[in-house]
Amino acid sequence: MRWRDRFAVLYFPHGMMLSMVALILFFIHLSIFVSDINNFYFTHHYDRMSFHYTVVLTFSQVIGICWAAMGTLYAEMTENKAFQYFSLICLTLNGIMFFNRLSLEFLSIYYREENH
């Protein structure tokens, strides 16, 4: 068996897997972001926010943006308009989520509890 998943090879067009993984990463980041928004604005439990994983979250968001950009490049080489729109939407959503996370990090910088 090869390193690729058979389901992904058989049912997704070439380059679509990059956009799908970027969309899955977007939903993971969205759930973490919604949890942090809830803890910051509504419940004021700052110790439950994801401050300890800021570097990991930022790195995975950059990876998601890169995968979405590569999926968009693959989509632009095809003639399938639906695939092009889907990949551009994935790229846009990942970029917006990155800047939302960055703005939340700067807004909550005074509430961090640094332990060294």
Q: Please tell me the pTM assigned to this model.
A: 0.81
The answer on pLDDT for 115 being more than 80 is: no
Burial-class residue 115 by CB neighbours within 10 Å (0-12, 13-18, 19+).
exposed
Which bin fits 46, alpha (ψ -120 to 50), beta or left (φ > 0)? alpha
Categorize the per-residue pLDDT at 116 as very low, low, confident or very high, splitting at 50, 70 and 90. very low
Count Cβ atoms below 10 Å from residue 112 Cβ, excluding itself: 14
